[in-house]
Amino acid sequence: MAEETPNTPESAEASQLVEAGQASRLLTEDGLEHEILEPDHLGVEMIKVQPESLLAVSAALSSYGYNYLQCQGGYDLGPGKELVSFYHLVKVDDNVDKPEEVRIKVFLPRDNPKVPSVYWIWKSADWQERESYDMYGIVYEGHPNLKRILMPEDWKGWPLRKDYISPDFYELQDAY
């Protein structure tokens, strides 16, 4: 029969330690601030970055070979809680069987969700940042054309926020 691990504060703390991944080690070597998060459900490394550090960390990751922004998006942690802008990066190279990946998360205050645009590093962020702006109200500072793409320009509010209140009526648009 296997011996049980004692449930002490020391053992709980040890079980919560997360090992630094390749990207985190490189960022640490360069002195770039970040926080290691638990790997995602696929075991992909995840790091948390402050909004003011996003461009420096993104530029560094790009120089380390993370040359493909697979996905950028946003989500809401709940009414009164933070909004999150996330970035899924892939190192596309000769290792096509198991490319290196890293996920970045930036937690933003609900009342003023601003983060620098990574468009100038990965052009694929263009429409993805616009969608996150349109649905969650996250402002990507420095984006060349930040405007609504799914909702009408005069739409009030951010439809995917969990505290969004739908209007009582919808104006029918002329389809012609």
Specify if 45 maps to a domain.
Answer: yes
At 39-78, the pLDDT tens digits run 999 999 999 999 999 999 999 999 999 999 999 999 999 9
Specify if 170 maps to a domain.
Answer: no
C-beta atoms surrounding 92 within 10 Å: 14
Specify if 59 maps to a domain.
Answer: yes
CATH number at 55 reads 3.30.460.80
Per the CB < 8 A criterion, the answer to whether 84 and 103 are in contact is no
Tell me which amino acid residue 142 is: G
Going through the chain in order, the beta strands assigned E by DSSP cover 35-37, 45-48, 68-76, 83-91, 100-108, 114-116, 139-141
Number of domains the chain is built from: 1
Half-sphere exposure of 77 (CA within 13 A, CB side): 14
Specify if 51 maps to a domain.
Answer: yes
Domain encompassing residue 49: 19-112
pTM of the model: 0.83
Q: How high is the pLDDT of residue 167? A: 74
Q: Which residue has better confidence, 117 or 15?
A: 117
Specify if 165 maps to a domain.
Answer: no
